[in-house]
Amino acid sequence: MGLGNAFEAIADDENAFHYNPAGLAQGKKVLFHLLIARTRISSDLASEITEMQDVLDNIKTLESYDDWLENSSQECREAREELADWIEEAATESLGVRSDLPSVGLAVPFRIAEKYRLIVGGSVYTQSLISLRVQQRGLIWADPIKDMLDDAIVYNISAQWAWQIASAVEIQVDRPPILSKVYTGIALRRINRWVFTDEDDPFTVDDLMNLDGPDGIKGTDDDFEKRYFDIKHFDLDSLRDSFEERKGYSIDLGTILLPVDGLKFAFVIRNLASSISLGEGDRNFPRNVILSAAVKPLTLLAGAGLEPVSTSLLDLTLAASLDKRNSDDRMSDFSINKYTDRIHLGTEVTLFPDKNVSFSGRIGNNQGFLTLGTSLKISNLHLDFVRYGDLEADWYVGYINLRF
């Protein structure tokens, strides 16, 4: 993520399961990883959390008035205006939080011939998402307070677990500088997803502000709680029934070409075949064809007999990927149809890459959005922090992982 997702030609760790299965063949030893925690929060939500108490105070103030829309008192008017400003701002924001835990993966290499090495691996991981957005609807009113009442509040709560198996082969060609090695791999992923959302029937700001329903009488069937969240009768069974289950699969293919040490080219077809069940029927994940390249300039110079900086002291990687426009963007929900949507660029600098303690810094361009990342490796423990931009939002990401 810190590299702007330009990772297909690098793919030298457990992320190869998701970016390019061929990359698993680059590991010479058994790879085992355990994801302890990875949390992603949108920058919009991080900002709004600091203002949430003011929003709740304004709602509480308005609830104390019988006719808060028409009341002309200064306190009510100020609370009304501040709430309208907040909702108007929220309508342009993406409020979301994601969590990935736990996750475990294993890849084991086997020597099958002098010039061939087989790697077989598998991974199990979980993901969750909570998002909220305000969607402008209804007639346009000159009064901003009345204009916001028809705006819909759309929430999405989803969780999934998935398992995948992957296989990759390393083929020794030994024809530098034309081609030294070829890595090729395939991954099959099975997905079980549960979704709880009001996208088909969202409640409005007016519903939220009139908790007792249109009749204004508390305890009747049109109360907000009974219409949207029957909390009194909410148990495990009703929670399970409220979630829509979706099942699916996807198949990825990948290849990495290594002309000489320090230079790689990759070709990946993500979601070559796929399907996910939806309420109205099955749907395919968008197929994505990626061309990628990565170069380690210091390794190339060392191979040419020049070594301005020891590669054991400093490692530099430059990477670039070009993919199908918007195809990786949550089924193209946030496409903006610009050519920059296809571009992924990244640079990584690592101090003491072969030591037990190392530090890395990254900067990238993900489809036109800036990414920044840092990581600290302490033996087998990896700590990462990323500021990641994509077509949906800007995100802050924290990541704790054990890799052996």
- Establish if 295 belongs to a structural domain: yes
Range of 299's domain?
16-403
CA 222 from centroid of its chain's CA atoms:
38
Tokens of 128: 């969750």
pLDDT of residue 219: 74
pLDDT of residue 238: 53
pLDDT level of residue 230 (50, 70, 90 thresholds): low
* Statement: residue 280 has pLDDT above 80: no
pLDDT of residue 334: 62
User: Rounded mean pLDDT of the chain?
Assistant: 86
pLDDT level of residue 385 (50, 70, 90 thresholds): very high
pLDDT of residue 251: 97
| Residue-wise pLDDT tens digits, 4-33 | 999 999 999 999 999 999 999 998 899 999
pLDDT level of residue 345 (50, 70, 90 thresholds): very high
- Counting residues of the chain whose pLDDT is more than 90, the rounded percentage is 49
- Counting residues of the chain whose pLDDT is more than 70, the rounded percentage is 90
- Establish if 2 belongs to a structural domain: no
pLDDT of residue 3: 96
pLDDT of residue 237: 58
pLDDT level of residue 267 (50, 70, 90 thresholds): very high
- Establish if 332 belongs to a structural domain: yes
pLDDT of residue 350: 96
Q: Report, in angstroms and rounded to the nearest whole number, the Rg of the chain calculated over CA atoms.
A: 25
Name the strand (E) or helix (H) holding 38: strand 31-42
- Give exposure, 186-209, as e/b (b: 16+ Cβ within 10 Å): bbbbebebbbebeeeebbbbebeb
CATH assignment at residue 367: 2.40.160
- Is the separation of the CB atoms in 34 and 103 below 8 Å? yes
Length of the chain: 404
| Residue-wise pLDDT tens digits, 295-327 | 999 999 887 777 766 777 899 999 999 998 655
CA dist 24 and 64 (Å) reads 62
Tokens of 40: 């992603």
DSSP state of 72: -
- Establish if 3 belongs to a structural domain: no
DSSP state of 28: S
* Statement: residue 51 has pLDDT above 80: no
Backbone angles phi, psi at 82, to 5 degrees: -65, -40
Tokens of 284: 């395919």
pLDDT of residue 330: 55
| Residue-wise pLDDT tens digits, 101-150 | 889 999 999 988 888 999 999 999 999 999 887 777 777 777 666 677 77
- Establish if 9 belongs to a structural domain: no
CA dist 366 and 6 (Å) reads 8
CA dist 100 and 109 (Å) reads 27
DSSP 248-268: EEEEEEEEEEEEETTEEEEEE
Tokens of 118: 């087989």
- 64 or 265, higher pLDDT: 265
- Establish if 4 belongs to a structural domain: no
pLDDT level of residue 235 (50, 70, 90 thresholds): low
User: What global pTM score does this model have?
Assistant: 0.83
pLDDT level of residue 337 (50, 70, 90 thresholds): low
Total domains in the fold of the chain: 1
- Establish if 1 belongs to a structural domain: no
- Is the separation of the CB atoms in 30 and 45 below 8 Å? no
- Establish if 6 belongs to a structural domain: no
| Residue-wise pLDDT tens digits, 191-216 | 999 998 877 778 777 777 677 777 77
pLDDT level of residue 346 (50, 70, 90 thresholds): very high
pLDDT level of residue 284 (50, 70, 90 thresholds): confident
| Residue-wise pLDDT tens digits, 52-94 | 778 778 878 877 887 777 777 888 888 878 877 777 777 777 7
- Is the separation of the CB atoms in 98 and 158 below 8 Å? no
Name the strand (E) or helix (H) holding 303: helix 297-303
DSSP 183-226: EEEEEEEEEEEEEEE-TTS-EEHHHHH-TTTTTT-TTSTTSHHH
DSSP state of 151: -
Strands 394-403 and 244-260: what pairing?
A: unpaired
